[in-house]
Amino acid sequence: MKEINMTTGSATKKILLYTLPILIGNVFQQIYSLSDTLVVGRFLGSEALAAVGASSALMVFITSIIIGLTLGSSVLFANLYAEKNDYKLSRAMSTSMIFIIAIALFMSIVLIVFLNPLLRLFQVPSESFLYAKQYLYIVLSGLVFLTLFNIGSSMLRAIGNSRTPLIFLIISSSVNVLFDFVFVLWIPLGVKGPALSTLLAQIASGIPIFIIALKRFKYLDIRLIFDIKLFREVGSYAILTSLQQSIMNFGILLIQGLVNTFSVAVVAAFAIGVRIDAFAYMPAQDFGNAFSIYTSQNKGAKLPGRIRGGFKSAIVMSSIFCGVISILIFMFAPNLIMLFSPKNTEVIVEGAKYLRIEGAFYIFIGYLFIHYGFNRGLGNFKYSIILTIISLGTRVFLSYLFVGIGYGVESIWFSIVIGWIIADITGFYMYHKQKKNDFLNTKAL
C-alpha cells in the first residue's frame, strides 16, 4: 500500500490524502456501531436499546484506553520513522506491543469479574440491567482482538499507510452488520446477538492486520523484547494519550450516569443521539488524528513552517466539514432518530432536541480535535490533558449543577457545548504560545 510522506508537498493535500482512508474506514466503523443500535432499537425494544446504549458508554470508555495507548505509540513511531532511527523504532514497537496487550488482557478479566457492581455504579435502569450484563460479558471477551487491530493500525498509520486499516475496517463492519441480522432475526439471541456479531468482527479484523503490520516491518527484525529504558519514553507517549482519552470518556460516563436518572425514553434517545453525533463529527476527529501524524513527522524532520501551514489547513477543512454537517443535522434530526425508533414519539422528540442543540455547535468540537492532534503530535501531552479536563470538567460540573437546581435534560446538552468553547479558547492560546518557539522545543510531558 502507498505510504504518504507528510514532510513534503502541499500540507492540505497530504492531510486530505491521509485522512480520506481513515474517514471512509470510520464511516464503516460507525455503520458497525450504528447497526447494533439500529437492529436492537427496531427489533428488540426500548429496554434493550437503553441497555446497549448504557453498555456502549462503558465500552467507549474501555476502548478509549486502548485507542489512547496505540494513538500515543503511533506518534512516537512516526517521529522515529521520520528520524530514520530503525533500531529505536524496532524496540519501541516491541515494548509497546507487550505493554498494550498486557493491559488489554488485565482489563478484560477485571471488568468481567466486577461487571455487576460497575453497572450498578452507573445506574443502569433495572429494566435494562440483565440485557446490559449479557451484552457486556460477550463484548469484553473480545477486547484483546480489538487491541490487536489498533496496534496493527497504529504501526501502519505512523508511516503514512492509512489504506490497509481501511480495508480491515470495511471487512469488520461488513461482518458485524451481517451477523447483527443473522443473530437477531434468523437465530433470535436477543441482545446477545449484536454482542456476538461484534466479537466476530473484532476477530476478523484484529488478527489479520496485526500479522500484516509485522510483515511490513520485517526489516526491523522486531522481537518480543521489553526495553525497560525505552519504556519510559514509550509510556510517556502511550500512557498520557490514553489518560487523555480515558478522562474524556470517563466524563462521558458521568454524563451517562446522570442521563440514566431520567426516563427510559431519554436514555434511549441519548443512546441514539450519541451514535449519530459520533458519525456526524467524525471528519473533524479524523482531521485531528491525521494532523497528529503530520505534526509528528514534521517535528521529527525539524520543519516548523510546515506545522504552521498544516494547522491553518486543518482548521479550515474542519470548519467547512462541521458547518455543512451542522446544517444537515439540524434539518433532519427527527428523521435520523426515527431510523432507530420509528414508533416511540417521546424518544423521537428527545433525540431531536439533543441533536439540534449539539449539532448547531459542531464547529467547536472540530477545533478541539485539531488542538488534541496538534499537541499530541508535538509530544506535549500535558496540554492535551489540560484541554480535556477543561472540556469535560466544565461539562460534568455544569450538568450536575443545572440538573440539581431543577433544570431539565436540555441543560446537560448545553453544558457539553460550553465545555467545548472554553477548551477551544484555551487551545488557541496554547498554539500561539508554542508557535513562538517554532514548536521544536517541546517534549513528551
**Is the confidence at residue 417, as pLDDT, over 90?**
yes
Please, which residues have CB within 8 angstroms of residue 40's CB and are 6 or more apart in sequence? 48, 49, 52, 184, 191, 194
DSSP string, 116-179: HHHHHHTT--TTTHHHHHHHHHHHHTTHHHHHHHHHHHHHHHTTT--HHHHHHHHHHHHHHHHH
Q: Hunting for cell 450538568 — which residue is that?
A: 399
Residue 1 has pLDDT above 60, yes or no: no
CA 190 vs. chain centroid, Å, equals: 27
pLDDT at 399: 94
Amino acid at the residue 180: D
Q: What angle do CA 188, 115, 125 make, to 5 degrees?
A: 70
The rounded distance, in Å, linking the Cα atoms of 108 and 219 is 33
pLDDT digits (tens, 9 = 90+) for 132-145: 888 899 999 999 99
CA distances from 20 to 11, 13, 70, 318, 384 (A): 14, 10, 20, 13, 24
C-alpha cell at 385: 490533558
* pLDDT of amino acid 2: 61
**Residue 4 cell numbers, joined:** 504518504
pLDDT recorded at residue 402? 94
Q: How confident is the model at residue 264 (pLDDT cuts 50, 70, 90)?
A: confident
Q: Is the dihedral of CA 269, 271, 273, 276 positive or negative?
A: negative
- Give me the half-sphere count of Cα atoms (radius 13 Å) on the Cβ side of residue 163: 6
Q: What are phi and psi of 114, to 5 degrees?
A: -105, 30
Around 393, how many Cα atoms within 13 Å sit in the side-chain half-sphere? 9
What b-and-e string marks burial along 215-239, b requiring 16 or more CB atoms within 10 Å of the CB? ebbeebebeeeebeebbebbbbbbb
Closest among 249, 244, 282 to 68, alpha carbons compared: 244
Question: What percent of the chain is predicted at pLDDT more than 90?
Answer: 27
- DSSP string for 260-276: TTS-HHHHHHHHHHHHH
pLDDT at 68: 80
Q: Which helix (H) or strand (E) holds 90?
A: helix 86-113
pLDDT at 445: 43
Predicted local distance difference test score (pLDDT) of residue 444: 42
